[in-house]
Amino acid sequence: MKIAVTGKGGVGKTTLSALLAQAYADMDHQVLAVDADPSPCLAGALGFPEELRAKLHPISEMDDLIEERTGAKPGTIGGFFTINPRVDDIPERFSVVHRGVRLLEMGSVDIGGSGCICPESAMLKTLFTHLLLREEDVLIMDMYAGVESLGRATVDFVDAMLIVVEPTRRSLSTAMQIKKLANDIGLSRLWLIGNKVRNEEEETFLRTETPEVPVLGIMQANLAVQEADRLGIAVYDHVPELREAGFEIANNLSGKITQ
Ligand SMILES: Nc1ncnc2c1ncn2[C@@H]1O[C@H](COP(=O)(O)OP(=O)(O)OP(=O)(O)O)[C@@H](O)[C@H]1O
Ligand SMILES: [Mg+2]
């Protein structure tokens, strides 16, 4: 199961990605969490200790290795390169594991593009395939905010998309732009996740305003989420209500995708 988490800036993509990654790991799935935001913060949201974070190198620092393995410089479009480069030693060099979640940072690698058939996407694709061998393995990709990062190549990496929304028309409007793009590139498994919901009225608004994308889960607004960030603790550990919401969304998602 390979999921991209998208949505307007600041809606809670990283918070949801971290909750889902930890929930799946605690349900004994192999989890690969990918931070696709050029200014990464998923490690913090997952509560990775500083010494592990210091060891983490973003994939974008792998230029020489990409050239060595694929036979072409990153950024090359067209020409010849190996589409199934050797990747077995890469996880240890470019990712860290904490509490069952393997984390990988993309850095400035842009996998959206316009359907980039390029050495770096070949490398990433092979790497993900290498790491996610079984049906029940989970890839959670915390995407860059907005719609620009969602290009054709995204479908090579994910098979469903969660769009995080706040109960505001603006965030729903971004969600509808994302839906259109996703549909254009052939991705039709899309769900909304309502976040920072304060009352029933707001939940009803989210559930009724855009019937074309179903709501898969709701996360309540909770001041302890910011507190967790300030204290450097994962929301999963600090806010039981959100951990519960994370498990519920993870279960709903598994149910939908394995249907
Ligand atoms: N349920 C919630 N209740 C209260 N605050 C929340 C909730 N979820 C997220 N936040 C807060 O909203 C802010 C943005 O959250 P987060 O970083 O997860 O969003 P994002 O969509 O990943 O942002 P960006 O677009 O910058 O990557 C953070 O300060 C976070 O603490
Ligand atoms: Mg984020």
pLDDT at 114 over 60: no
CA distance 163 to 110: 19
pLDDT in tens, 83-97: 778 888 888 888 999
| Contact (CB, 8 A) for 47 and 98 | yes
∠ CA 36-38-40, rounded to 5°: 75
Residue type, 64: D
Nearest ligand to residue 11 Cα = 1
Nearest ligand to residue 239 Cα = 1
User: Average pLDDT of 196-205?
Assistant: 98
pLDDT in tens, 161-191: 999 999 999 999 999 999 998 888 888 899 9
pLDDT at 123 over 90: no
Confidence of residue 252 (pLDDT cuts 50, 70, 90): very high
Element (H, E) at 184: helix 169-184
What's the mean per-residue pLDDT of the chain? 89
Q: Which candidate, 37, 50, 130, places its Cα nearest to that of 92?
A: 130
Question: From the CB of 195, is ligand 1 less than 6 Å away?
Answer: yes
| Contact (CB, 8 A) for 19 and 236 | yes
Token pair listed for 27? 């349900």
- Among 14, 15, 148, the mutation site with the greatest number of ligand 1 atoms within 8 A of its Cβ is 15
Radius of gyration of the chain, Cα coordinates, nearest whole angstrom: 18
Question: From the CB of 11, is ligand 1 less than 6 Å away?
Answer: yes
Question: What pLDDT, on a 0 to 100 scale, did the predictor assign at position 111?
Answer: 66
Question: From the CB of 226, is ligand 1 less than 6 Å away?
Answer: yes
Q: Could you tell me which residues come within 8 angstroms of residue 205 by beta carbon, excluding any fewer than 6 positions away?
A: 167
pLDDT at 113 over 60: no
CA distance 107 to 213: 30
| Contact (CB, 8 A) for 2 and 124 | no
User: Which protein residue has the closest C-alpha to ligand 1 atom 28?
Assistant: 226
∠ CA 121-71-77, rounded to 5°: 50
User: Average pLDDT of 8-26?
Assistant: 97
User: Which protein residue has the closest C-alpha to ligand 1 atom 14?
Assistant: 10
pLDDT at 157 over 60: yes
pLDDT at 115 over 60: no
Give, to the nearest 10 degrees, the angle between helix 169-184 and helix 200-209.
30
pLDDT at 130 over 60: yes
Question: What pLDDT, on a 0 to 100 scale, did the predictor assign at position 239?
Answer: 98
Question: From the CB of 125, is ligand 1 less than 6 Å away?
Answer: no
Q: What number does the ligand 1 atom closest to the CA of 146 have? A: 25
Confidence of residue 259 (pLDDT cuts 50, 70, 90): low
Residue type, 22: Q
- Maximum mean pLDDT: which of 123-127, 181-185, 220-224: 220-224
Question: From the CB of 224, is ligand 1 less than 6 Å away?
Answer: no
Token pair listed for 114? 């316009």
Distance of CA 41 from the midpoint of ligand 2 (Å): 6
Question: What pLDDT, on a 0 to 100 scale, did the predictor assign at position 110?
Answer: 67
End-to-end CA distance of the chain: 12
Among 55-59, 137-141, 194-198, the minimum mean pLDDT is found in 55-59
Dihedral through CA 150, CA 258, CA 188, CA 148, nearest 10? -10
Question: From the CB of 243, is ligand 1 less than 6 Å away?
Answer: no
> CA of 94: how far to CAs of 21, 64, 168, 175, in Å?
18, 13, 38, 32
Question: From the CB of 162, is ligand 1 less than 6 Å away?
Answer: no
pLDDT in tens, 31-86: 999 998 888 999 999 999 999 999 998 887 878 888 888 888 877 776 777 777 88
Residue type, 30: Q
Question: What pLDDT, on a 0 to 100 scale, did the predictor assign at position 69?
Answer: 85
| Contact (CB, 8 A) for 37 and 144 | yes
Question: What pLDDT, on a 0 to 100 scale, did the predictor assign at position 92?
Answer: 80
Of 126 and 228, more confident: 228
Taken as a whole, the chain contains a residue count of 259
Looking only at Cα atoms, what is the longest distance across the chain? Answer: 56
